[in-house]
Structure 1
Amino acid sequence: MMINKAVLHIFDFNTNVCVVSQKDLDFSSDVVYEYVSKRLNRIIGDAAQKTGVFYATSAFQMKLQALADGTMTFDDLASQTARELYQLLAHCDEPESTDLLVIDFQDDDDVRNVGILMLENKTAYTHQILDDEGTVYNKLIKHYAILPGTAQKADAYALIRLSDFSIHFVDKKRKMDGEDVYLLPDKLLQCTSVISSKEAVKVVSKIAEKVAEEHGASTVEALSKAKTYLVENAETADSFSPQDLGSDVFGDSPVLQREFEEQIKEAKLPEAVAIEKEYAQKAGRSHKIKTDTGIEITFPSEYIENTDFIQFINNPDGTLSIELKNIGKIVNK
């Protein structure tokens, strides 16, 4: 990744002022470049990203096209975006002071991208050194415009590839005239919104657990099989099919499989959900359970079908026993 340019604009709703910067950030300062690059690296590949496609009438896509064609400069795009977003935030029921970071960068495929990051200001305490006629003293003050740290992800951002105008974004719900809106996809970008891989995994996992529970099947087995499917599927594909996941989890029961398929249709999940291999492996690697007796166990998801290591036994009195096998060593953590 290579960052070409970046500019920071300020939306201060304590004083109702929009400060549009007339200069780019100075990357000769290591501190500035470090902050921008860390902010960008923090969101690239984020599993919480939704994807979108510009509507044919999107004015923002026309601006991006002009940028790609060279008929609009990056600085003009950034300043116009800042003014438009400020007006949108000003019409929200509870506008929050925000810094807008707009970035022009090349991704790892050397494709030009535009990043739009909304960095909500935080309130924090700091010190101030004062001099009163030769008497030096320290004072505690409250600062109302602290940027989020580099370890935090931006609450709202969009990344757009200029080669195909594909959109990846994260946004949060806001109130505008009492109605719920997502400013980035609904107002600024004017694009569609497709569920993120993180949300999709969460939804299919909940449905698998619910279907298993309602039919008296093992929820532990259902969730572990779902996770194993995600890991194995990620080895050969960059997306997964919720329907295929259900077939894999409930393949032995046509009734449960049909119920699962009906519920994923009700949830309006797409036929294929894009998922990064790294996230699929992280989400599906292990399964954690907690018993009503307070015991917690974490085990590799694929072990659910291998009774050489762990076995769940239904007792005659309705209780459940868990047997751990072939343990050579126990380490305290």
Structure 2
Amino acid sequence: MSITFHNTIVHVLDTSIGHYILSSKNLALEDEIEAFITKHIGHLFESNEVARAVFNEEGELFKMIKSYKEEDFYQFSCKIADKFFQYMLNDSYIKSGDVVVSSFTRNQENFLGIIKLNYREAFTHQMDEDGDGVATSLIKQRSIFSSNKIDEALLINKDSYEVWLLDKSKEKYLAQLLEIENHLSIKEKLVVVEHITNEVIEEHFTNPVEVITTLKSNIAEHIFENSSVPVAEVIKETFKDYKEVEEECMQKMEQCGFKDEQIVLTNPKEAKKYISHKLKTNTGVEIKLPTQMIHDIDFIEFINEPNGTISIVLKNIGEIINK
């Protein structure tokens, strides 16, 4: 990924002091600082937690983007800072932080980036020197940024007006603040598909474990092979012996707008969560198994007992390791 920065600035949005502080100069992009910002931008393009969204074309931000010229960068960044801060003053639950506004080129496409760096608290040392030597104490620093994690950000393709939106805040306020029609992220789409399917499975199967595991295995296989989840195909594969259940599940998918959904993953690491399956019994016993093993009766067998309980038999175990 090649990124060339044109303008980058940081404004302080600390509600505890009652007003924001606008920087009068662009940020000096020394090597470590540039690497820090580049890392976060790269993650936004690759993360399955980022949603693709579209502007409300009547909204203020969209009009600002349409008329944007690079010589307007400073005024644009100040308007963004003001927009954030005024909203934050009305919602005390939104965390204080600094907002980084940047214009850059990535793979010959022009972008505007808005990244909110939320403050977190951490302890550091403080040294006071007097006639008797140096006294060291611990103090709490509040305006510390995480080097690995951001919760709120927006990337805008200035040419196509495509939007990448990350909002992991509890308030989920960015779409409203920036007048954007928010779509579900890839991760959120997968959660919806799983929820609907699991609901149908729990309703129709007395022992749903095997069917749920089949679902997870089918999802993982498609992600590994094509970095995508074709919803209709996965449902058909999961319920191939139960046509009525398949049709009911697809009806529910259609009601939620997922019937013809092809969920394309930007990061195939999402498949990792599907390669194992954890079982927990009402007696407190937990078993974690490779997903594909759960169908192999040479290794595990589920037995429905006459009294309505379930027995689990683990087979061909060569060694038990205490962890």
Fold conserved (TM > 0.5)? yes
Counterpart in 1 of 2:51? 50
Confirm whether residue 169 of structure 1 aligns to residue 165 of structure 2.
Answer: yes
Counterpart in 2 of 1:114? 112
Deviation at 1:170, TM superposition (A): 2.0
Where does structure 2 lack aligned partners over 5 or more consecutive residues?
A: none
Q: Which one of the candidate residues 292, 295, 317 is aligned to 2:307?
A: 317
Aligned AA (1:162)? K
How far apart are the structure 2 equivalents of 1:282 and 1:113?
31
TM-score of the pair, normalised by structure 1: 0.82
Q: Which one of the candidate residues 251, 274, 293 is aligned to 1:284?
A: 274
Counterpart in 2 of 1:88? 87
How far apart are the structure 1 equivalents of 2:198 and 2:156?
36
Aligned AA (1:204)? V
Counterpart in 2 of 1:124? 122
CA shift digits 1:213-245 (9 cap, x unpaired): 222343222222222222232355454343433
Counterpart in 1 of 2:248? 259
Counterpart in 1 of 2:40? 39
Where does structure 1 lack aligned partners over 5 or more consecutive residues?
A: 175-181
Deviation at 1:143, TM superposition (A): 2.7
Q: Which one of the candidate residues 142, 164, 186 is aligned to 1:144?
A: 142
Structure 1 residues 25 and 267 mapped into 2: Cα distance closer, same or farther (>3 Å)?
same
User: In angstroms, what is the RMSD of aligned CA positions?
Assistant: 2.9
Aligned AA (1:183)? Y
Q: Which one of the candidate residues 126, 151, 154 is aligned to 1:155?
A: 151
Q: Which one of the candidate residues 26, 29, 47 is aligned to 1:27?
A: 29
Aligned AA (2:264)? A
Confirm whether residue 275 of structure 1 aligns to residue 265 of structure 2.
Answer: yes
Aligned AA (1:207)? I
TM-score of the pair, normalised by structure 2: 0.84
8 Å Cα contact 1:205-1:223 kept in structure 2: no
Matches within 5 A, 1:202-281: 202-235=191-224, 237-269=226-258, 271-272=260-261, 273-276=263-266, 278-281=268-271
Structure 1 residues 237 and 15 mapped into 2: Cα distance closer, same or farther (>3 Å)?
same
How far apart are the structure 2 equivalents of 1:53 and 1:44?
16
How far apart are the structure 2 equivalents of 1:111 and 1:324?
55
Count of matched residue pairs = 319
Confirm whether residue 307 of structure 1 aligns to residue 307 of structure 2.
Answer: no
How far apart are the structure 1 equivalents of 2:292 and 2:85?
50
**SS of alignment partner, residue 311 of structure 2:** strand
How far apart are the structure 2 equivalents of 1:223 and 1:330?
27
Deviation at 1:99, TM superposition (A): 0.9
